[in-house]
Amino acid sequence: MRLILLGPPGAGKGTQATRLEDKFGIKQLSTGDMLRAAVASGSEVGRQAKAVMERGDLVSDDLVIGVISDRIDQDDVAGGYILDGFPRTVAQAEALGALLAKKGSRLDVVIEMQVDDAALVDRISGRFSCGKCGEGYHDRHKKPAKDGICDKCGSTEFKRRADDNAETVASRLKVYHEQTAPLIAYYREQGLLRSIDGMADIDMVTGAMVEILEGIAATSGKAAAK
């Protein structure tokens, strides 16, 4: 199964991708996570991406298409993947379509997560994650069960993203509306778009996505939920 989670910053793409990864056994491919890892490692890709990400702009199409093109060629994603944060421009979507066509494969679905801008700012400003395993949390919506201890790995170290400040968030939302939102119409025209209410609570959003994916699995004979 190959799918895209399409939604604005803070919509819950990463939160839901992790859950779908566990449930369906398909890998989450987050270009944001890949670029942050590149920045942390000081690689050439990271050097080019760092300042752009800190401003809340998009890194160049060529750079990110190169990153994803290498990644989807690897054996561990032969059975499918969840694209989180890619594509983000029509040029990226066209490049993805061409890469898949070359491999003789195609996307199964694009799930659009609809969330109001005010809720996005609240979600992003309260977000933090485990410094060890990466599990995501929120100051109000998803606290660790025991204060200061990661539910998943027990670590006591947490971190916040460099681009989660008020100024950068405003710029990321503007960029989303101008450059990424046109993909909604793009994929609707291809008959691949399914839209869900991303304002619902985290479990309900997962439920809506699982329903869509199980429907596809049932009709296509692809791997169903575990």
Which residues carry out catalysis? 13, 88, 127, 161, 172
Q: Over the range 21-54, which residues count as b (16 or more CB within 10 Å of their CB) and which as e? A: bebbebbbbbbbebbbebbeeeeebbeebbeebe
* 164, two tokens: 């989660």
- Quick one: 78 or 162, whose CB is closer to ligand AP5? 162
Q: How far apart are CA 143 and CA 197, in angstroms?
A: 22
C-alpha closest to that of 9 among 47, 53, 49, 39? 53
Residue 14 touching Mg ion (CB under 5 A): yes
Minimum distance, C-beta of residue 31 to Mg ion, in the bound complex (Å): 9
- Quick one: 22 or 78, whose CB is closer to Mg ion? 22
Are 175 and 56 in contact, with CB atoms under 8 Å apart?
A: yes
**Where on the chain is the footprint of ligand AP5 (CB under 6 A)?**
7, 9-15, 31-32, 35, 52-53, 56-59, 64, 85-86, 88, 92, 123-124, 126-127, 136-138, 141-142, 163, 172, 201-202, 205
Region near Mg ion per CB under 5 A, out of 10-18, 114-122, 124-132, 149-157 = 10-18
Query: Binding partner of residue 205 among ligand AP5, Mg ion, none, CB under 5 to 8 Å per kind?
Result: ligand AP5
Query: Binding partner of residue 138 among Mg ion, ligand AP5, none, CB under 5 to 8 Å per kind?
Result: ligand AP5
Query: Binding partner of residue 180 among Mg ion, ligand AP5, none, CB under 5 to 8 Å per kind?
Result: none
Minimum distance, C-beta of residue 52 to ligand AP5, in the bound complex (Å): 6
Minimum distance, C-beta of residue 124 to Mg ion, in the bound complex (Å): 10
- Quick one: 33 or 94, whose CB is closer to Mg ion? 33
In the beta sheet, which residues pair with residue 130? 158
Q: Over the range 149-185, which residues count as b (16 or more CB within 10 Å of their CB) and which as e? A: ebeeeeeeebeeeebbeeebbeebbebbeebbeebbe
Minimum distance, C-beta of residue 136 to ligand AP5, in the bound complex (Å): 5
Burial class (CB in 10 A: 0-12, 13-18, 19+), 85: buried
* 71, two tokens: 């990644």
Q: How far apart are CA 31 and CA 68, in angstroms?
A: 7
- Quick one: 101 or 201, whose CB is closer to Mg ion? 201
Residue with tokens 């199980």: 214
- Quick one: 46 or 223, whose CB is closer to Mg ion? 46
Interface residue list for Mg ion (CB under 5 A): 14
